[in-house]
Amino acid sequence: MTNLPPEDQQKPAAPEKTPNPRREFLRSATLFTGTVAALGGGLELLSRRPGAVAESVQPGLIGQAKRPLGPYDAKDAVTPYEQATTYNNFYEFGTDKADPARLAGTLKPRPWTVKLDGEIKKPMTVDIDTLQSWFPLEDRIYRMRCVEGWSMVMPWLGFPLAGLIRRMQPTSKAKYVQFTALLDPKQFPGQKSAVLTWPYVEGLRLDEALHPLAFMAVGLNGRVLPGQNGAPLRLVVPWKYGFKGIKSIVRITLTEKQPKTTWSIATPSEYGFYANVNPKVDHPRWSQATERRIGELGRRPTLPFNGYAEEVASLYTGMDLRKNF
């Protein structure tokens, strides 16, 4: 299949379809619009956290000798902050890439609680700041490949999901992790539309969730996570398509059975539970062989598991990845 994806085709028969003027703007946008002065209070907040390295993190400069790269960091050039925060998929705010940045002001990321429940020793509801204080914050520069055929490189700040799962003390029945995003049409105007079923839900197999690359982000470019990128807490699974990275999480549940996931509820023939980045398995409506890196001209080849095959391929030994797409 050689079709290139129209980038707004991911949505299932959206009732209102608006053109996306953002796209042309992005192609010509200039690099490095961020400045240290622009960091503001968010940086302060994060630099007080245990283990935070925010003082070494500057918008648009991270990855350029500001700190040594760690074993989990991509060596790719980081996508400029301006682009990573204005070209977003977050259907709770609308289906246009520009909607989240425009409307994210209605999302109130504090106070915020996260319910931890299901197959765990002691279910509880915890305040986001308490949850965050349980772990030292780490930087992770990860590639992010959207199923629509574009990609970015994001400098996240957060903690490995594995630490949180271990702290939740799974029972012997726990086989999967289910994530649930906030349901509140007052904060998320897009939830008044039935374009997807709400709340947005996602899931991982327990061994995937325990992999050291699976990450919970609370910050981006050394600043607190902007609303449009999933404040105050979002999942990042860099070897899977971007839609697995559920934003604005309010509940994490360990389950015995494979949980439902939003995009496979919407269109099961097009979006599976695994959603591992795979250039050999095309989307029914477009090729997945190449991608457009935001900020670059032309397209580049898409790598198996988004370039993380060495780390994660063994999770899927013996599985038919065409069937389990």
CA distance 151 to 41: 29
Cβ–Cβ < 8 Å for 52, 70: no
Q: Tell me whether strands 150-160 and 290-293 are parallel, antiparallel or unpaired.
A: parallel
One-letter amino acid identity for 79? T
What would the x/- binding string for ligand MTE be over residues 21 to 60, using CB under 6 A?
----------------------------------------
Find the binder of Mo ion among 58, 83, 88, 89 (CB under 5 A): 89
Identify the CA nearest to 88 among candidates 186, 213, 226: 226
- Contact (CB, 8 A) for 248 and 92: yes
Residue 199 engages Mo ion in binding (rule: CB under 5 A): no
Residue of the chain from 39, 246, 254, 294 that contacts ligand MTE (CB under 6 A): 246
Quote the least distance from Cβ 62 to Mo ion, whole Å. 23
Q: What's the CA gap between 26 and 31, in Å, rounded? A: 10
Nearer to ligand MTE, 90 or 135 (CB): 90
Query: Mask 92-111, x = binds ligand MTE (CB under 6 A)?
Result: x-------------------
Query: Interaction with Mo ion in 144-163: which residues (CB under 5 A)?
Result: 146
If binding is defined by CB under 5 A, does position 243 make contact with Mo ion?
yes
Q: How far is the CB of 272 from Mo ion (least distance, A)?
A: 14
Q: Which of 231, 261, 242 is nearest to 103 (CA)?
A: 231
Q: How far apart are CA 220 and CA 218, in angstroms?
A: 7
Which residues of the shown chain bind ligand MTE in the complex (CB under 6 A)? 88-92, 144, 146, 152, 181, 200, 229-230, 242-243, 245-248
